[in-house]
Amino acid sequence: MPTLVSVNVGRPREAAWAGIGRTSIDKRPVAGPVLARRLGLEGDQVSDTKHHGGPDQAVYAFAREDLDHWAAELGVEIPDGQFGENLTTRGIDVNEAEVGERWLVGDAVLEVASVRIPCNDFKSWMGRCGYDERAWVRRFAAQHRPGPYLRVVTEGHLRAGDDLTVVHRPGHGVTVSTMFRALTSERSLLPELLKVDGLVAEARVRAEAYAPALSVIDDV
């Protein structure tokens, strides 16, 4: 049974190395129930509201199995929350979840909405924590396993140890990994994103802009 290993929250902290001079990437595990609201977890706060946060990026999930993969790659243990994730999961391949898939965790219903695109702040954070951050953004992206951003469809409490149950799967086949590849290294996949009901605005704009261009090429 998929489970929630850890619930991690963080608040803005001054950081000269961060792009805007502050960051909330330092997430720490918390004990007991945490309320998941429409805009995020209680006790968590976004620093860079231009690029992060909002209903489509309310909660970020990453698999413990993927943290373990990176621990093996880097040769050092990686704690829950190190990648800035709010939810550390086990027993579910979060990158093969379909966009629009819904999870019941505790009393909350969460919906896979978007993907995390790695940035230089993530690289700098890894380096400051003692990890090998050389070409980190490229190395992380090359795995196509970014972890999903989640919407909070039904507000409720969740906690470490809760079961994670998939209660809805759309069936269109567009996974978190597919979306990430479409938005980064494989633009030819962009039209696939249009199969997703409720696709996040930025992805829809890019997919719709690519589809007509592709049609012109086909007609030549």
DSSP result, 25-70 = ---EE--S-EEEETTEETT---S-TTTS-SGGGSEEEEEHHHHHHH
Walking along the chain (220 residues) 10 residues at a time, the average pLDDT comes out as 97 94 96 97 92 94 98 97 98 98 98 96 96 96 98 98 98 98 96 97 95 54
pLDDT computed for residue 217 by the predictor: 47
Residue 74: exposed, middle, or buried by beta-carbon count in 10 A (0-12, 13-18, 19+)? middle
Residue 214 forms part of a structural domain:
no
Residue 208 forms part of a structural domain:
no
Whether 63 contacts 34, CB under 8 Å = no
Domain count within the chain: 1
Q: What is the pLDDT of residues 129-188, one digit of tens each?
A: 999 999 999 999 999 999 999 999 999 999 999 999 999 999 999 999 999 999 999 999
pLDDT computed for residue 52 by the predictor: 86
Whether 54 contacts 39, CB under 8 Å = yes
Q: Which residues pair with 165 in a beta bridge?
A: 104
Whether 25 contacts 52, CB under 8 Å = no
pLDDT computed for residue 103 by the predictor: 98
Residue 216 forms part of a structural domain:
no
Strands (E), the chain: 3-9, 13-14, 22-23, 28-29, 34-37, 40-41, 59-63, 87-90, 102-105, 108-115, 148-154, 156-158, 164-168
CA end-to-end distance (rounded Å), the chain: 51
pLDDT computed for residue 213 by the predictor: 58
CATH of the domain at 129: 2.40.33.20
Residue 156 forms part of a structural domain:
yes
Residue 211 forms part of a structural domain:
no
pLDDT computed for residue 48 by the predictor: 86
Residue 148 forms part of a structural domain:
yes
Please count the other Cβ atoms lying within 10 Å of the Cβ belonging to residue 23.
22
Residue 80: strand, helix, or coil: coil
pLDDT computed for residue 211 by the predictor: 73
Q: Angle 176-183/201-219 helices, nearest 10 degrees?
A: 70
pLDDT computed for residue 218 by the predictor: 52
Whether 165 contacts 158, CB under 8 Å = no
Domain that holds residue 51: 3-172
pLDDT computed for residue 32 by the predictor: 95
pLDDT computed for residue 216 by the predictor: 45
What does pTM read for this prediction?
0.94
Residue 79 forms part of a structural domain:
yes
Residue 135 forms part of a structural domain:
yes
